[in-house]
A and B are shown apart, each in its own frame.
Chain A
Amino acid sequence: KAGVTQTPRYLIKTRGQQVTLSCSPISGHRSVSWYQQTPGQGLQFLFEYFSETQRNKGNFPGRFSGRQFSNSRSEMNVSTLELGDSALYLCASSLGQYTGELFFGEGSRLTVL
Chain B
Amino acid sequence: AQSVTQPDIHITVSEGASLELRCNYSYGATPYLFWYVQSPGQGLQLLLKYFSGDTLVQGIKGFEAEFKRSQSSFNLRKPSVHWSDAAEYFCAVGGNSGYALNFGKGTSLLVTP
Interface residues of chain A, those whose CB is within 8 Å of chain B, are: 4, 31, 33, 35, 42-45, 48, 50, 55-56, 58, 90, 92, 94, 98-107
14 residue pairs bridging A and B, Cβ less than 8 Å apart: A33-B100, A42-B104, A43-B90, A56-B99, A56-B100, A58-B100, A90-B44, A94-B99, A98-B98, A100-B51, A102-B99, A104-B43, A104-B44, A106-B42
Chain B residues within 8 Å of chain A by Cβ, number: 25
Contacts of B11 in A (CB 8 A): none
| Residues 89-113 of B contacting A (Cβ, < 8 Å) | 90, 92, 94, 96-106
Is residue B32 contacting chain A, with contact meaning CB distance below 8 A?
Answer: yes
Q: B44–A31 contact, CB under 8 A?
A: no
- Find out whether the CB atom of B103 lies under 8 angstroms from the CB atom of A42: yes
- Asked if A48 and B98 sit within 8 Å, CB to CB, the answer is yes
From residue A88, how far is it (CB to closest CB) to chain B in Å?
9
Q: Does B34 sit at the interface, judged by CB under 8 A?
A: yes
CB pair A48 B99 closer than 8 Å: yes
B49 neighbours in A (Cβ, 8 Å): 99-101
Q: Which residues of A contact B94 (CB under 8 A)?
A: 98, 100
A50 vs chain B, min Cβ distance (A): 8
Chain A residues, Cβ within 8 Å of B51: 100
Task: A42 to B98: give the CA distance in the assembly, Å.
Answer: 20
In the complex, what distance in Å separates the CA atom of A106 from the CA atom of B44?
Answer: 8
With an 8 A cutoff between CB atoms, is B14 at the interface?
Answer: no
Q: Mark B6-45 against chain A: 1 for CB-CB distance below 8 A, else 0.
A: 0000000000000000000000000010101000011111
Is the pair B100, A45 in contact by a Cβ cutoff of 8 Å? yes
Q: Chain A residue with minimal CB distance to B45? A: A104
User: A93's closest neighbor in chain B, by CB?
Assistant: B99
Q: Cα distance A85–B105 when bound, in Å?
A: 18
